[in-house]
Amino acid sequence: MTTAIYPGSFDPITNGHVSILRGGLVAFDRLVVAVLQNPKKSPLFTVDERIEMLKEAVGNDPRVEIDTFEGLLVDYAKRKNARVVLRGLRAVADFEYELQLANMNRHLNEEVETVFIMAKDAYFYVSSNLVKEAAKLGGDVSKLVPPGVNERLLKKLGTPT
């Protein structure tokens, strides 16, 4: 049974994330969606809120575990008995950053491989930051995020519905 770790901040989860997650379930037997607690970022949603949104988006799929971690991803992967890290790619700019991460992870633990999956075309440009910015300015992002996330964004941002 192959387990992959799908790490990210998921602040908030987007349909692009869901697309990558679904692609990961085609390639791997089990996915651990790991919410990173990154002290360098100032998230809009708490870790608990992000986990709740992820659970709503994934449903009761027994192949998916939602978890949280801090520290080195390769250490977390080892604790989870996973040798694969799943990452999503959107644009060329993503590739350079993701390649740096993958190479650092390989340097830290040669047994961990990174696999890249592209989101569906419709979500290729979508990022959590872009979704938050558009929502903050009153844009309709309801087609870019799972059901329920849009309402949470509007409530959190104090934007009228």
Distance CA 5, CA 64 (A): 10
Q: Which backbone phi and psi does 19 adopt, to 5 degrees?
A: -60, -45
Given the residues 9, 17, 30, 50, the one annotated as active site: 17
Helix axes 149-157, 47-58, angle to 10 degrees: 160
90 catalytically annotated: yes
128 catalytically annotated: yes
Given the residues 41, 63, 79, 155, the one annotated as active site: 41
- Within 8 A by CB and 6+ apart from 106, the residues are 112, 113, 114
Given the residues 90, 106, 120, 156, the one annotated as active site: 90
Given the residues 19, 50, 87, 128, the one annotated as active site: 128
Q: Which residues are catalytic?
A: 17, 41, 90, 128
